[in-house]
Amino acid sequence: MSEHLVGTSHLETAATAAPERRERAWARPLYLLLALLLACALPWFIYPPIALDILCWGLFAISVDLLLGYTGLLSFGHAAFWGSSAYITGIVAIETGMPFPVAILLGALAAMVIAVPTGWLAVRSTGIYFAMVTLAFAQMLYFVANRASGLTGGENGLQGIPRPFFGMELIETEAFYFYYAALPLIILGCFIAWRTVHSPFGRVLLAIRDNPARARALGFDVEGYKIVVFVISAGIAGVAGGVFSSGHGFASLNDLMWTTSGKAVLITVLGGIGTLWGAMVGSGILVTLEDYLTTLGFEGIGIVTGTMFIVIVLLFRRGIWGSVQQAWHWALGKARLRWG
Amino acid sequence: MFKSSLKIVLGTTVAVSLAACGGAGGPGGGSEKISDGKLVLGVLNDQSGPYKDLSGPNSVEAVKMAVEDWKAAHKDDAVTTDIEVITADFSTKPDVANTKAQEMYDRENADIILDVPNSAAALAVATQAKNKKRVYINVGGGTSALTGASCNKYTFHWAYDTYMLANGAAKSVTDSGGKTWSIVYPDYEFGQASDKLYTGAVEAAGGKVIAHIPTPFPNENFATFITKAQQGNPDVIASMHGGGDLANFFKQYQQSGGDKSTKVVGGVVFLSDIKSIGAEPLKGMQFTDSWYWNMDKEARAWADRFQEKVGTRPTAINAGNYSAAYQYLEAVQEAGTDKSDDVVAKLEGKKINDIFLRNGEIRAQDHRVIHDVYLAEVKDPKDIKEDEDFEKIVTTIPAANAFRPLDQSECSM
C-alpha cells in the first residue's frame, strides 16, 4: 500500500517537473562540473587548511539542511554526530593505523549508531521541542566525552591523530595534498544528500515537512521516515566531522559543544534553507570571514556574524544561495521574454 | 684570451667584495642568517573570549614592549632590528588556533609562536611546532602534558602549569600547619585532575585529605557542598573552581560564617579573576602565583612601565609573555641566526633572571621553565592602598621544589 503510494507520488512530481527538467538537461552536468572545478581549484586560492574547513563545515551544514530544509526538523544538537565521529575517527586512526578514509567512514558509522536512539526519541516531537531534545543529547555526549578522559583526552583533547594513507607521505603530512585525498569523501557526503533529496524518499520527506497529517493519512510512517533521514543526516555530519579531525590532527571538546551545532545552523540559514548547495556557499563566506576577523584584533567576531545572520533572516529569507537562484531565474525569465 | 680571463678575475673580485660588504650588513638591515631578513614573533591568544583579561591584547603589548626593550639593549650589535610582532585571536577554539598556527608558520614566516592559553589548543600548536620545526613557547596554557607525554624539541612551557599550581599551595599550606584538607571541585575532567594533583601534593607533604566533594559544573548554589566541606573541621578548605563558580563559592562560604581559623585555598586563581570578582569575597584566600606585579622592586618597575602603556596592571601571563619574547630574542642573538635548531640549543639549559623569572632555568630535558613561584594571599580590601594591589606574597617556593621533578615526567624528546 505504502509502496504503491510512493510510486504514485513520484510519478506525479516527475510529471509536473518534466518540462523544467528538459530545458535544464544540459545545465545540471555543467553546474556539477563547475562545482567540481571550483572545489579542485579552492586550495590554490585559499590557504589549504581553511579550504578544507570550508568543505567540512559546508558538508556539516548540508546534513543540517537535509533535516531543516527538506524535513522541517531543526536539529540543535548535530555537534553530537560531528563530534562523536571526530573522536571515533581519531581513536581508530591512532589505535589501528587504518587508512584515514576507513577511519572516517567508521566514525560516520558510529555517529549513525548514536543517531538511532537519539532520533527515535527526538522525532516524537517537532519544532522547538525537537531542537531541545537533540540539544540535550548533544550536551549529554559533551559531558560523557569530558568525563571519559582516558578515551578522549578530556580538556586536552585527543591529540596527534595521524592520517595514514598507504604510506603516501605528502598526503599524510601536507594539508594541500590531504585536501585532494579527502575531497572524494566530501563529494560522497554531498552525493548521498543530493540522492536522498531527489528520490521518492525525498519527496515523501517534503510531504511530511509541508503537511505531516496528510502524509500520515496517506499511509506513510511519518516517524519512521524521520528516523531514517535523521540517521542519514547524522552519517553525513559524521563524514564531515571525521574529515575535520583528520585534517586538523586532533579532536577536542569544542567539536561536541552546542556552539558547533549553532554554527552549522547559522551556515545553513546563511546559505539558504532547503537549497543543499547553499550550505557550501554559506560555509565559504562564514569560514573565510571568521578567519579574516581573527587577525584584525577586533574583539567582536560574534557581533559581525550575528549581524549578518539577522540581516539575512530579515531581508533575504531564502539565504544567499536561495536569493541568487531567485535572481537568476528572474533574469532568465526576462531574457526569454525578450529574445524568446 | 688574456683579456677575457682578466675580465673574469676582475669581475669575480668585485662581486666577492660586494658580497662581503652586503654580508657585513649595515645596521638595521637583515642578514642572510635571519630567514627572510626579519624576525617574526606571532602571539596567538584569546582576545575576545574568557581568557581575554588573563592574556589577550595586553600580552601582545607586552611582547611589543619586549621587542622595543631588546632593541634598545642591543643598539649596534643586534643580529637584526627588523622584528615584527603579528597576532591572531583564536577565541578559545582549538581548531582555529591550529589553523592559525599553521598559517603563522607557513605563510607569515613566524619564527616563534607565543602564548595560546587553552589546553587543547596549546597541544595542537605544539604538534604544529614539531611538524614545522619552529619554536613555540607556551605561556598562558596550563596543561602539564606540554612538558610531559606531549613534549617535543621545539616546544617550551614558560610560566606555570597545573602541577605547579597544585604542588605550590598544597605543600606550603600543609607545611605551615594545614594538615587536614577538604577539597571541593567542579565535577568534570579538569576538576577531577586538580583534585588528584592536590591530594597527591598534600599527602606528599604529610597532610591528609579528609573529604573530596564534587559539585555540578557550572553551579549556582554551593550551600550543601560548603556544609559537607566543613564537616570534620578541616584545617583547610580548597576550591578548584574557576571564574563565576569561584566567585559564588567564596561569597557563599563567607555568608555561611565559615570558621575563621580554617584556611581557604583557591586551586586555579589569577590576578584577572580577583580583578573581576573583587577582593571582598576572596579575602584571605591563598593560592599559587607564578609572579605578581608588586612582589618586588624589579617587577614593580616593569609593571609601572606596563601600566603607562596599557593602562592596567599586568597579569603574570602578560609578564611571562614579555619574558619569553625577550629571552627568545636573546637566544637568537647568541645563536646569530633564527634557525630553530640553533636557537633551541641556546635556550636549553639556560639560566635566567629577568623581570619575570627568578632563579629561572630552562630545563633541557623536558623544556619546562622552572623558577621561583609564590604562595599569595588575597588582601583584605581594608589593606588595599593602591589600585589593583590585591595580593600579598606569603612565601616564596624555590624553583627546585615548585615544578614537577624530572623523574616524574613522561617526556622523551
Look at residue B11 and tell me whether its pLDDT is greater than 70. Answer: no
Give yes or no for A249 touching B (CB within 8 A). Answer: yes
Distance from the Cα of B89 to chain A's closest Cα (Å) equals 5
Closest CA to A199 of A2, A8, A5, A10: A10
Residue partners of A235: CB distance under 8 A and separation at least 6: A63, A81, A108, A109, A111, A112, A115, A192
Closest CA to A253 of B115, B123, B244, B411: B123
Pairwise CB contact (< 8 Å): B120 & A159: yes
Say whether pLDDT at B224 is over 90.
yes
Eight-class DSSP state of A122: H
3-state secondary structure (DSSP) of residue B156: strand
Say which CATH architecture domain B35-160+295-370 belongs to.
Answer: 3-Layer(aba) Sandwich (3.40)
Average pLDDT, chain A: 88
Alpha-carbon gap: A65 to the closest alpha carbon of chain B (Å): 23
Interface residue ranges in chain B relative to chain A, Cβ cutoff 8 Å: 47-48, 52, 57, 60, 86-96, 98-100, 102-103, 106-107, 119-121, 123-124, 127, 131, 143, 145, 150, 188-190, 192-193
Q: Do A154 and B150 touch (CB under 8 A)?
A: no
- The pLDDT score that the predictor gives to residue A266 is 93
Angle at the Cα of B209 (from B203 to B210), degrees rounded to 5? 150
Residues of B in contact with A260 (CB under 8 A): none
Which of B87, B107, B124 lies at the smallest CB-CB distance from A47? B107
CA distance B95 to chain A (A): 7
Number of neighbouring beta carbons within 10 Å of residue A2: 12
Provide the shortest C-alpha distance from residue A253 to chain B (in Å). Answer: 8
Q: Which residues of A touch B86 (CB under 8 A)?
A: 295
| pLDDT value, residue B192 | 87
Q: Which residues pair with B391 in a beta bridge?
A: B378
Asked whether the whole model's pTM tops 0.90, one would answer: no
Residues of chain A with Cβ-Cβ distance to B189 below 8 Å are 146-147, 149, 154-155
Residues of chain A with pLDDT below 70 are 1-25, 297-299, 340
Task: Output A90 or B256, whichever has higher pLDDT.
Answer: A90
Q: What mean pLDDT do residues B29-40 have?
A: 74
The predicted structure's pLDDT at residue B363: 95
Q: Of B94, B103, B131, which has the smallest distance from its Cβ to A157's Cβ?
A: B94
Q: Closest Cα partner for B162 from B150, B187, B145? A: B145
Instruction: Give strand ranges (E) for B101-250.
Output: 112-115, 135-138, 155-157, 180-186, 208-215, 236-239
Same fold, B35-160+295-370 and B163-289+374-402: yes
Of the options 3.20.20.450, 3.90.1150.10, 3.40.50.2300, 3.30.1360.120, the CATH number for the domain spanning B163-289+374-402? 3.40.50.2300
Q: Minimal CA–CA distance to B286: which of B231, B343, B236, B225?
A: B236
Give the mean pLDDT of B291-301: 95
Could you read off the pLDDT of A238-248 as tens digits, one per residue?
999 999 999 99
The closest CB to that of B190, out of A155, A248, A255, belongs to: A155
Return the pLDDT at B32. Answer: 63
Q: Which pLDDT score, from 0 to 100, does residue A6 have?
A: 38
Complex-level ipTM? 0.85
The full set of domain ranges for chain B reads 35-160+295-370, 163-289+374-402
- Structure confidence at residue B384 (pLDDT): 93
> Which of B88, B90, B102 faces A49 most closely, judged by CB atoms?
B102
Question: CA B318, CA B270: separation in Å to the nearest integer?
Answer: 11
Q: Nearest CB to A159: which of B93, B123, B189? A: B123
For residue A224, give the H/E element and its range. helix A222-248
Sort residue B237 into left (φ over 0), alpha (ψ -120 to 50) or beta: beta
Chain B residues with CB under 8 Å of A149 CB are 189, 192-193
Stretch B101-110: mean pLDDT: 93
Q: Is B26 helix (H, G, I), strand (E, B) or coil?
A: coil
Please, are residues B250 and B274 in contact by the beta-carbon 8 Å criterion? no
| Residues of chain A contacting residue B124, judged by C-beta atoms under 8 Å apart | 157, 159, 248-250, 252
For testing contact with chain A, the best of B99, B161, B240 (most A CBs within 10 A): B99
- For the cut 50, the answer to whether the pLDDT of residue B6 exceeds it is no
Whether residue B94 is preceded by a cis peptide bond, meaning omega within 30 degrees of 0, is: no
Residue A144: list chain B partners with CB under 8 A: none
**Block residue for cell numbers 688574456:** B2
Residues of chain B contacting A254 with CB distance shorter than 8 Å: 92-95, 120
Size of interface A-B (CB pairs under 8 A): 109
- Cβ A49–B90 below 8 Å, yes or no? no
Residue contact B120–A149, C-beta within 8 A: no
Q: Is A176 on the interface with B (CB under 8 A)?
A: no
Whether residue A297 and residue B57 make contact (CB cut-off 8 A), yes or no, is: yes
The rounded mean pLDDT for chain B is 89
Mutate to test the interface with B, among A50, A156, A172 (most CBs of B within 10 A): A156
Using CB atoms and an 8 Å cut-off, which of residues 29-58 of chain A contact chain B? 47, 49-50, 53
Mean pLDDT, residues B161-169 taken together = 92
Ranges assigned E (strand) in A276-333: none
Residue A128 to chain B, least CA–CA distance (Å): 24
Q: How far is B56 from chain A (nearest CA, A)?
A: 10
- pLDDT given at position A17: 41
> Nearest by CB to B189, which of A154, A175, A293?
A154
Task: State residue B12's pLDDT score.
Answer: 46
Of B138, B115, B123, the residue nearest A158 (C-alpha): B123
Cross-chain Cβ contact B120/A50 below 8 Å: no
Contact B119 A160 (CB under 8 A): no
Considering only CA atoms, which of B176, B177, B181, B160 is closest in space to residue B229? Answer: B181
